[in-house]
Structure 1
Amino acid sequence: MKRSAVDSLQSSDDDATAVTHPGDRRVQAEDPPFTHGFLDKDPETSRARSLYFKIIAGTLLLVFTYVIWGVLPIYWGSVFKLYHHAHNLHGWIVDLDGGAIGQTVAQTFIGGSGPTTKMTWLTAPSNLNLTTREQFEHALVNEKAWAIVAINQGATEHLNQVLSSGNGPYNGTSAVTVYINEARSSNAVRGFVLPEVQMTMAQIEARFAAQQATRLGSSGSVSASLLTNAPLAVVNPLAYTLDNVRPFDSAIVTVVNFVGLIYVTIIAFVTVVANYNATTANNLFPRLTISTLITLRLTFYFCSYFVLSCFFSLLNLAFGTPFSRYFGSSGFVIYWVMAWVSMLALGLTLDAMIILLTVKMIPFFLIFWIVINVSIAAYPFELLPGVFRYGYAMPFYNLSRTVLTICFNTKNEIGMNFGIQIAWVVLNIGTITLFSIFVSKRYLNQYRKSQETTADVEKTREAGAV
């Protein structure tokens, strides 16, 4: 009876504490919802308000220091001084003419090299013996140069024959052919290569035409038949033809190959968060063994990404992405499998980090993961600071290269692109395993400590009761 009285008294004291202590969860359950103002002075609202400000302040501090000044400058830095790296874009001059036209064009292009804001023009290596369009195309597709200016054989001789005979017709655009590979990097070719070629050729054309006019005027060799039959030989003796060996002629590829890369990452991220929530909400962690948890998450990602990448690929196909242009129906399959391993490379990295950072902090890593990938996706490495060479190993870059090869038949490095993505997958399987073991051990240590604390409390209560 004495023991019961003590227990009854202790229970009454606990109930009294529950009623008078506003921070207790039992009070929260009894407290009517939506009845307090943000500035109320009651203890529970004050505690909640204080916690709110701490979370907001901490988040804003992270956004300011980590995101704005830590991560975003990576992308800003990649495009900060693009034009100061233009000299890393190399162009070739091939003089098959050997006459006045060839010398004028070659000397002007090569003589203009030097400033960091201009392309570097070199005489094409003699051992390549470039003479035909097929050879020029092969060199550009294999990324030996960004542009090739070829002064066609007999250009000067043909002009002189027309000027001396007065017989036409004459078309100055047959004198020079400029070969480019736009699909290699449409941003670089349209923003750097083409403008420089057009500006330099315009200067050459104007100067050469003035020189020819002066020479013809001083010699009095401009006949009526020449002006009638071949007027371009007098007024525009030197021009060029542009030959785009790999035109970037599908606007939808711009979406697939830049913004679409970010969407692939977002899809992978949403899946990672869903798996994390599903695992923790049902207490599968820590109920299942570590090996079972690892097997479960890897099986989930491999299967879900296989399906999701298929639907993502079909979306691109539905809007006219030219997957079958060069590889036939295999082109779609190649892209699908590449999208699959890319999702795995991107998603498993996020999954490994969510194990360590938890779902609360993973958005900050997501920003970093997207920025370091997207910073090397818009422009070629020649235009970026040297530190961005890390991009060769990034999932975005290798997915992008595969898309260009499938759609435009650019340099084929699909085997290497797959190899790098698979290396990411293997690496992440290892990190997921190690991080899972680390987190599980930390959880077990906390669990043992809590059990010991509970046991000590029980012993104290029993001793007090006796």
Structure 2
Amino acid sequence: MAAETNRVSIETVHIQTLPPSRSSADRRAEPIPGAAPQDNFENRTADVSQCSVADDNNGEPRYSGFFSPGLASVRRQYFLIIARAVLLISVLIWVSAPVYWGALSNSAKRSKNLEAWFIDRDQSRIGQAIWQAFKNNTLPGPHLNWLSMDPLAMGDDSSVSGLIAEEHAWVAVVIEANTTTTLTNARVNGDKNYDPASAIKMFYSQARNEIATANYIVPITTNLLQFTTSAYATSSAQRYFAQIRGTGDTNDTAVQMIAQAPQTISPAISWSVVNVRPYTAPAAQAVTLVGNIYLCIYAFMITMATATARDLISPHMQFLPMSYALVSMAFHIPFSAKFSEGGGFMLFFCYIYLGMAALGLSMESMITILTPRFAPFFLFILIIYNISPVVLPSELQAPFYRYGDGFPIRNLSQALRTIMFNTKSSLGRNAAVLVAWIIMSCATMTIFTWLIRRREHVRLRRIAEVDSSGSKKDSQEEQK
């Protein structure tokens, strides 16, 4: 009899202490669909603890397990929350992850999209032999798109350097004038001062994209030059030794000249490298790539912090970009490559401010219709779709990633590279894209706010009509 009384007591406690159903307003504030608000967590914990404990006749507590029949409704709600969260995250993964994976895949196969210039000022045996090797390159691995350029149109070395800095091509290989004649004279005269590296110059801009230059531009060009110069040195030495032996007698004078200047035989010709825009600050990668992810997160944090007080967002968003810029200065990010140190820093700050405003206001706009519980999903999509076009040059990515030209982070990264390394300047276009995002976000925020308010007014009007009709019926029944 005591056991039956105890079982009835437990079931009664279970039934009485189940959490009540929540209103639609509560559900709208949940971080994940179906989850309870944070401020009710302690109450719900207390309710569950009450429904799982009961005193038996001896005063000892009794605990019910997770699969207790009394927790059926709570357990059902728990699994519903988990299922919805897993579904939403799975959709998010398939929407965003393939974009980033695709940005990095097959880049080696697209290396032929990287334009490279071959400029032959020699117009003789060395220049012609090396161009044929470049044009008919059969080396394994990725290749560049080599174009033979008119040496008169390209100008001198300083002109070529400027064209590479302005990003007309990724790399330029220049065969200097009279290279063949200079090598021949050095062999004949035993010129000790002959420098094989003066025959060829390679121009490239590392700061244009340090990943592409390190993985493709420099290795491919270096391997090709190593192969062609070695092959030419071997064939040239064979021809020269055959020439000095003539009728079978060795030309002692020629041999003596070779011994005096052995570099005319090996390596005979070599090259020097000119990095027109060196990537001198390794910490700059934190600003141009990874730091942009942090910038998105900072903008998201300030958006969430001011979700209920949007009129206070302006002073905060001025302080955060300045903090970001000051941190960059502390790690010796160069600001004087194109402008003065002070001017470069202020311009750096202005672009960081525009970038944070563009990202933050876009999240501010979307949070109006998504509500705070779905804001992290939009944040993840915003980061992935902005970062993917930046990790590699557009030439090494599928045409789909050209959309990055109209997105904030690509333009912000280009502007910061110009400020830090004096790369090709597109500051006007970069600022225009960022300002366009700010204007678009403000416009969509206004539209979304109006739509939400209009929907809320319609809902309240319907509730009022239902309440009015119900009160009329009650009054009529009372009169009857």
Q: TM-score, normalised by structure 2?
A: 0.83
For residues 285-316 of structure 1, the C-alpha deviation after alignment (integer angstroms, 9 at most, x for no partner) is xxxxxxxxxxxx3x433332111111111111
1:437 is the counterpart of 2:450: yes
2:326 — aligned with what? Answer: 314
CA contact (8 A) 1:85 1:116 kept: no
1:77 — aligned with what? Answer: 102
CA distance in 2: counterparts of 1:188 and 1:206, whole angstroms: 26
Amino acid at match of 1:323: F
1:358 — aligned with what? Answer: 371
For residues 243-278 of structure 1, the C-alpha deviation after alignment (integer angstroms, 9 at most, x for no partner) is 0010111101011111110111001111111122x3
CA contact (8 A) 2:362 2:441 kept: yes
Residue 302 (structure 1) aligned to one of 286, 293, 314: 314
CA contact (8 A) 1:168 1:226 kept: no
**Matched position secondary structure for 1:156:** helix
CA distance in 1: counterparts of 2:46 and 2:200, whole angstroms: 85
For residues 362-396 of structure 1, the C-alpha deviation after alignment (integer angstroms, 9 at most, x for no partner) is 21111111111110111110000001101101101
What does 1:100-111 correspond to in 2, within 5 Å? 100-111=125-136
1:374 — aligned with what? Answer: 387
2:40 — aligned with what? Answer: none
CA distance in 2: counterparts of 1:96 and 1:198, whole angstroms: 20
Shift of 1:454: 3.1
Shift of 1:410: 0.4
CA contact (8 A) 1:113 1:121 kept: no
1:121 is the counterpart of 2:146: yes
1:169 — aligned with what? Answer: 193
CA contact (8 A) 1:87 1:115 kept: no
**Matched position secondary structure for 2:306:** helix
Change (3 A) 1:38 1:188: farther
1:238 is the counterpart of 2:269: yes
**Matched position secondary structure for 2:119:** strand
CA contact (8 A) 1:87 1:116 kept: no
1:446 — aligned with what? Answer: 459
1:39 — aligned with what? Answer: 66
2:166 — aligned with what? Answer: 142
Residue 339 (structure 2) aligned to one of 310, 316, 327: 327
2:422 — aligned with what? Answer: 409
Change (3 A) 1:61 1:30: closer
**Matched position secondary structure for 2:154:** coil
CA distance in 2: counterparts of 1:323 and 1:97, whole angstroms: 40
1:399 — aligned with what? Answer: 412
CA distance in 2: counterparts of 1:246 and 1:465, whole angstroms: 89
CA distance in 2: counterparts of 1:86 and 1:403, whole angstroms: 25
CA distance in 2: counterparts of 1:425 and 1:41, whole angstroms: 54
CA contact (8 A) 1:169 1:229 kept: no
CA contact (8 A) 1:114 1:120 kept: no
CA distance in 2: counterparts of 1:69 and 1:458, whole angstroms: 51
**Matched position secondary structure for 1:129:** helix
CA contact (8 A) 2:299 2:359 kept: yes
1:151 — aligned with what? Answer: 175
CA contact (8 A) 1:167 1:225 kept: no
CA contact (8 A) 2:18 2:47 kept: no
CA distance in 1: counterparts of 2:441 and 2:219, whole angstroms: 43
CA distance in 1: counterparts of 2:170 and 2:65, whole angstroms: 63
**Matched position secondary structure for 2:117:** strand
2:203 — aligned with what? Answer: 179
Shift of 1:48: 2.6
Change (3 A) 1:29 1:265: closer
Q: Which runs of 5+ in 2 are unaligned?
A: 1-14, 23-42, 53-63, 245-250
Q: Number of matched residues?
A: 426
CA contact (8 A) 2:17 2:48 kept: no
Moved more, 444-453 or 175-184: 444-453
2:89 — aligned with what? Answer: 63
Amino acid at match of 2:105: F
Q: TM-score, normalised by structure 1?
A: 0.86
Shift of 1:47: 2.4
Shift of 1:444: 1.0
CA contact (8 A) 2:108 2:396 kept: yes
